[in-house]
Structure 1
Amino acid sequence: MNDIAPPTKPLRPTTPEGERQEREHERKVARVADQLRNRRSTAPLSRQKRVVSHQVPKVNDKKHTDEKVNLLDFDQVIEVDPVRRICIAEPGVPFCELVDKTLPFGL
C-alpha cells in the first residue's frame, strides 16, 4: 500500500527555467479562459486537434459545427525535478518527450 499522501497544493517548479515555463503556462491558461469568457456562441465546444480524423465525414455530423478551443500550444514540459522525483508538464506533451526528459533521472 502506498503511504505517501497526495499533495494538498499544486506542485510548483523550483528552478528559474521551471518558473519561466510556469509563467508561460499561466499566459496560455489566461488566453483560453479569456476566449471562453468572451464567447458569444452557444455552439458545443470541442478541443482543436493536430491530426485529422481518418473517417469519412458524415452528413449532419454535429462535430463539424462545434466551436473549437485551441489548446495546441499546451505541449511543454515545465520542469523535471529529480530531487522531488516529479515532472510538471502540460497535458499535450507527447509521451515520447516525457520519456526522453524523465528517463535519465529514473522517473
Structure 2
Amino acid sequence: MKAIQLFAALLIGGAFTAATAAAPAPADSAKAEKIYKATCMACHGAGVLGAPKFGDKAAWGPRVAKGKPALYTNALNGFKMMPPRGGNPALKDDEVKAVVDYMIAKSN
C-alpha cells in the first residue's frame, strides 16, 4: 500500500511541477518585454510592412490559430518581410520563443 501512495504522490508532485514550469516566470516576461522593445517593436509597434501590430487581437488571431510551432518557426527563420530572429541574430531560440509568447499574450 505504501508503494501505491508513494507512486501517487510522485505523480501528483510531477504534474504540479510540470504545470508550474509551463507558466512563464515574471522575470522571463520582463526579459521578453525588453527584447520586444529592443528588437521587435520597430515593426510590430507600427505594423511596418504588414507585421501584425502589438496587441491587435484581430491581426494576431489567424496567426495564433495556426499554432505556436508555426509562429516560432516564422520568428526563428523569418517570414515574408521579417528577417530571421527579427533581425537580431544574437537572440537564442528560447529568447525568440519567449518574445513570441509575450506578443501572443498581449494580443488576447
Q: TM-score with structure 1 length normalisation?
A: 0.28
Higher strand share: 1
